[in-house]
Amino acid sequence: MRRVSILGATGSVGQSTIDLIARAPECYDVVALTGGQNIARLAADARALGAEIAVTADEALLPELRAALDGSGVEAAAGRAALIEAAARPADWVMSAIVGAAGLAPGLAALEQGATLALANKESLVTAGPLVMAAARRSGARILPVDSEHSAIFQALVGEEISAVTRVIITASGGAFRDWPLERLARATVAEASSHPNWDMGQRITIDSASMFNKALEMIEAREFFGLTPAQIEVLIHPQSLVHALVGFNDGALMAHVGPPDMRHAIGYALHWPERRALPVAALDLGAVGVLEFRAPDEARSPALRLARVVMEEGGLAGAIFNAAKERALDHFIVGRIGFLDMAPLVEAVLERMLAGPDAARGDLTLDRVAHMDHLARECADVVARDIKQQG
Ligand code: NAD
Ligand code: MG
């Protein structure tokens, strides 16, 4: 029996993970499931899987969670400390699928206890990549990428020497607004940005796909995970979302990973690694697909990609600033305070102000400094958002 925990169990990646685990309950001992506001889902899954503990991030919802778990034998807990404590419970495999910087500390706790960390939470690597990789080295824990592009790169590297890699190409569907003219983008609504042409994902990453901020995060994620230089990381628009990434080698070969846009592939690969096992993923009929298109992204439409390069060159705390500003810009867009095209200038303004300020001065990257920077960047983002609203 493998002991497994799922952080962010009620979300899109969390539910796909549960789908796989629930197909073979005899193989897994479920330790912890964590969620946020969706108590009914959390409690139902914790009961069905016989989890040891269910944790909601929201302390106010503890009574509701307790009531929902009454008589089940599943422990109930709430709040950030409880979340980290649950992630630190001995387990063999932990899925990190909380959205946002909130996923960093629980993921680190899982790594510190030596669990294999299946990492969907890209924000961990964006905000504190060197800390996350060092935690894994210290405890001897493995990190397996779950982001589909990074799983694709990881799979293309099996049996290869990283020193022979000259480039990686991450593909981007282009999101909901791939073919929209810029004038129309300025008026894009939250509802329009929340529907993805190819993938079924949580709302935040879906909007990040439309703005290309998701791809920006993924460029930084690739740099941190695979130890690549910024110049080795390329992005191509690929509307079909079937080729997830390509790895280029020194002999000119490109190894592409091709598969249907179903996260259960990357999750299942991380669950069964180093083996490959059958997964409930549809076989791809390339004859029916016919054409796979690729084109270079237009940087004028996608300032997020340019900002990712600034962050990669800068290193240090730039990732924490970038991610926090991006998360706040997204919050402001979702509540209607700023427009879709205001998000990138907001993030850029925060990056400029904070990288010039005293707090970003180089020093050791520590969890405390990352948290402090995250906090300051959010405050700065709120000020910039107010300015944008006043001007608009
Ligand atoms: P989601 O919004 O569907 O789910 C997020 C989960 O995190 C939920 O369980 C929610 O309760 C929990 N959560 C939210 N805020 C929290 C907080 N402050 N503290 C603790 N828990 C909190 O998100 P998702 O689409 O499943 O994405 C999860 C992560 O995986 C993100 O980092 C995303 O970038 C990454 N990812 C997702 C996909 C996808 O297909 N959805 C693909 C690649 C990578
Ligand atoms: Mg991805």
For the purposes of burial, counting CB atoms within 10 Å of the CB of 169, is it exposed (0-12), middle (13-18) or buried (19 or more)? buried
For residue 37, the ligand 1 atom closest to its alpha carbon is: 11
pLDDT of 357 reads: 85
Q: What's the CA-to-centroid distance between 131 and ligand 1, angstroms? A: 21
Q: Whose CA is nearest to atom 15 of ligand 1?
A: 99
pLDDT of 164 reads: 97
- Taking CA atoms, 368 is separated from 7, 126, 131, 356, 373, in Å, by 22, 16, 11, 20, 9
Residues of the chain with pLDDT under 50: none
pTM for the predicted model, two decimal places: 0.98
Number of other residues whose CB lies within 10 A of the CB of residue 371: 17
Query: Does the C-beta of 228 come closer than 6 Å to ligand 1?
Result: no
* Per-residue tokens: 197: 């042409």
pLDDT of 361 reads: 66
Q: Which helix (H) or strand (E) holds 269?
A: helix 263-272
pLDDT of 366 reads: 94
Domains of the chain: 2-145 (3.40.50.720), 150-260+284-289 (no CATH), 315-391 (1.10.1740.10)
Query: Does the C-beta of 13 come closer than 6 Å to ligand 1?
Result: yes
pLDDT in tens, 345-372: 999 999 999 999 887 766 679 999 999 9
Q: What's the CA-to-centroid distance between 180 and ligand 1, angstroms? A: 27
Number of other residues whose CB lies within 10 A of the CB of residue 106: 28
CB 341 within 8 A of CB 316: no
Helix axes 12-22, 39-49, angle to 10 degrees: 20
Q: What's the rounded Cα separation, in Å, for the pair 311 and 217?
A: 10
Q: What's the CA-to-centroid distance between 149 and ligand 2, angstroms? A: 5
> Which residues lie closer than 8 Å to 186 by C-beta, 6 or more apart?
339, 340, 341
Query: Does the C-beta of 202 come closer than 6 Å to ligand 1?
Result: yes
pLDDT of 167 reads: 98
CB 100 within 8 A of CB 127: no
pLDDT in tens, 224-253: 999 999 999 999 999 999 999 999 999 999
Q: What's the rounded Cα separation, in Å, for the pair 84 and 246?
A: 35
pLDDT of 179 reads: 87
Query: Does the C-beta of 204 come closer than 6 Å to ligand 1?
Result: yes
pLDDT of 299 reads: 78
Query: Does the C-beta of 193 come closer than 6 Å to ligand 1?
Result: no
Direct distance between the N- and C-terminal alpha carbons of the chain, in angstroms, rounded to an integer:
58
